[in-house]
Structure 1
Amino acid sequence: MELGDFKIHYLNGGMTNMDGGTMFGAVPKPLWSRKLEPNDKNQVRMSTHPILVLTEDKNILIDTGLGNGKLTDKQKRNSGVENESFVKEELADYNLSPEDIDIVLMTHMHYDHAAGLTDNEGHAQFPNAIHYIQQDEWHEFNAPNIRSKATYWPQNQGDYKENIILFENDIEPYPGIKMQHTGGHSFGHSIITFESKGEHAVHMADILPSHAHSNPLWLTSYDDYPMQSIREKERLIPYFILNDYWFLFYHDADYFAVKFDKKDKTIKETIKRK
């Protein structure tokens, strides 16, 4: 898609099939299955597709996908992994290599977003990029608690730490592109907004993992602080809808982007995955 001067694409960072009950938490299956149809294992398809933003002078990547060779056979089975990352191959479609990425924006550091940061030896996959990470997220990633250690993997640490900028509440890594700390899904979870020539978009990351999660109460069971997720969604989603933002997705297997109608909050425009 084009958003003002920005060209925004998605890259195939992996495809999973996650347990439907996990992806919708306390929401009963008869409700969520109207939005996303489960397979015979009660799984729903969830992509892990990084967002590539091309500006006039910078190449920006948002999150990094599953990587390659990071998951065990058991983890692949439990997450219904169809494929791991093709980020490097798909960057080549834009005449780019990982070395051409100037900025990496991490919404959070869960393995399905951060495994593509390094190879299996801990070397940065995007060695020339400045990596932006919320400060609390970074510290928990490096010292996870009894719950979060299941998703903050030490094998996703690496020498990219030499090129990190940490922020607390918000930061503007590039003119018109801002990161904002929300918490909720994780303590340091952040969203990203885009503005160029009067056009707007938002990537709410995992507090809005798919178009089916637009109800503020519909959360994944992975949310560490569910009431904070609800608080942020209750305030932010109506604001973004009223101001005609595109909503961009990392996990939605059907849609890369949607716009919602201001009156009834139904989907009015879409950009579908190919």
Structure 2
Amino acid sequence: MRIGNWQLDLISGGRFRIDGGVLFGIVPRTVWQNVAPPVDSLHRTMVDTHCIVARDGQNVVLIDTGYGGKYSPLDRKVNDLEPREPIVEGIASLGIKPEEVTHVLFSHLHFDHAGGATRWTTDRQIVPTFPNARHWVHQWEWEDAMGQASEIRAAYPIQNIGPLAEAGLVDVFQHDGELLPGLTARLSGGHTRGHTCFYFEDAESSVLFIGDICPSAAHVRPQWHTAYELYPLQTRSVKPKILADAVERRTWVVWNHDIEIPVSRVGRGPKQEFTIYDTATGL
């Protein structure tokens, strides 16, 4: 898909299995299993980690990085993680080498969004996967992740982000606005304090990477959100506003964890509920 000067492609940062109660929070299993049937006896459902690759002839931008390849066999078994480095294989499918990525943008820094930003070397050192890229993240998200407070430390493995700081590759932004021509960041909060959505826009169309503020098409329902939400009331407040804007502008939305509907537009039903249409498997 082309938006202005940007060529956009959707790749996977790796599929994995997650407990349905974690993905759908307070929603009862008798309800969520109708839209995301469990795939095993552990009540897990399969999700993806969709990432955007954007190229304008000068910049190669990656939004989110999936979970990466640093996990032990036991860790992989817990969530049925894919082998090797899915994000590196994903960009390779587009003919892109890690050294050619110029910018990495994070919606937030949880393991399944930032884990692919670092990798093991052959001598067991952890280094940036994209050594020539500037890594952009909201200041609040960076502060919370690097602060390693006991109550949220497990959500922010330091091995995923510490090497980026050591290499001097991190740029934080504080306000909504244009990061590159036609590419805009907008703070949502909710899922985490610094959770950010990204828009590619021109005069005729737009694409929204909505992140975990609405991780799947099923989560357009007002009360549906993950159990990981640090600020659930903020999510319930801001999500309808983001979706209403997407309806008005006929924006293409990337549902980053939806294995069945990676991309779609959003509409309104007869009772003004949000609906999904123009579903697509890629951009």
TM-score interval w.r.t. the shorter chain?
Answer: over 0.9
Q: Which letter maps to 2:47?
A: M
Q: Which letter maps to 1:55?
A: D
Q: Normalized against structure 2, the TM-score is what?
A: 0.90
- Aligned residue in 2 for 1:136: 140
Assess if the C-alpha contact under 8 Å between 1:13 and 1:84 holds in 2: no
Assess if the C-alpha contact under 8 Å between 1:16 and 1:83 holds in 2: no
Q: Distance in 1 between matches of 2:244 and 2:13?
A: 30
Q: Distance in 2 between matches of 1:110 and 1:222?
A: 10
Q: Which runs of 5+ in 2 are unaligned?
A: none
Cα displacement (A) at 1:93? 2.5
Q: 1:111 to 1:15 in 2, by over 3 A?
A: same
Q: Distance in 2 between matches of 1:82 and 1:130?
A: 26
Correspondence 1:1-274 to 2 at 5 A? 1-41=1-41, 42-68=43-69, 70-83=70-83, 85-120=85-120, 121-161=125-165, 162-264=168-270, 265-272=274-281
User: Once the two structures are superposed, what CA deviation does each residue of 1:90-130 show, in whole Å capped at 9, x if it has no partner?
Assistant: 32232210111111101111111111111132321111111
- Counterpart secondary structure, 2:76: helix
Assess if the C-alpha contact under 8 Å between 1:242 and 1:262 holds in 2: no
Moved more, 203-212 or 74-83: 74-83
- Counterpart secondary structure, 1:212: helix
- Counterpart secondary structure, 1:229: helix
Q: Which runs of 5+ in 1 are unaligned?
A: none
Q: Which letter maps to 2:213?
A: I
Q: Distance in 2 between matches of 1:16 and 1:199?
A: 32
User: Once the two structures are superposed, what CA deviation does each residue of 1:192-217 show, in whole Å capped at 9, x if it has no partner?
Assistant: 11102411111110011111111121
Assess if the C-alpha contact under 8 Å between 1:11 and 1:90 holds in 2: yes
Q: Distance in 1 between matches of 2:138 and 2:109?
A: 10
User: Once the two structures are superposed, what CA deviation does each residue of 1:115-148 show, in whole Å capped at 9, x if it has no partner?
Assistant: 1111132321111111111101111111122231
Q: Which letter maps to 1:131?
A: H
Cα displacement (A) at 1:151? 1.5
Cα displacement (A) at 1:11? 2.1
Cα displacement (A) at 1:5? 3.4
What percent identity do the matched residue pairs reach?
A: 30
Assess if the C-alpha contact under 8 Å between 1:14 and 1:84 holds in 2: no
Q: Normalized against structure 1, the TM-score is what?
A: 0.92
Q: Which letter maps to 1:56?
A: G
Assess if the C-alpha contact under 8 Å between 1:105 and 1:133 holds in 2: yes
- Counterpart secondary structure, 2:226: coil
Q: Which letter maps to 1:132?
A: W
Q: Distance in 1 between matches of 2:227 and 2:217?
A: 17
User: Once the two structures are superposed, what CA deviation does each residue of 1:20-67 show, in whole Å capped at 9, x if it has no partner?
Assistant: 111101011122122222223221111123211122321100011111
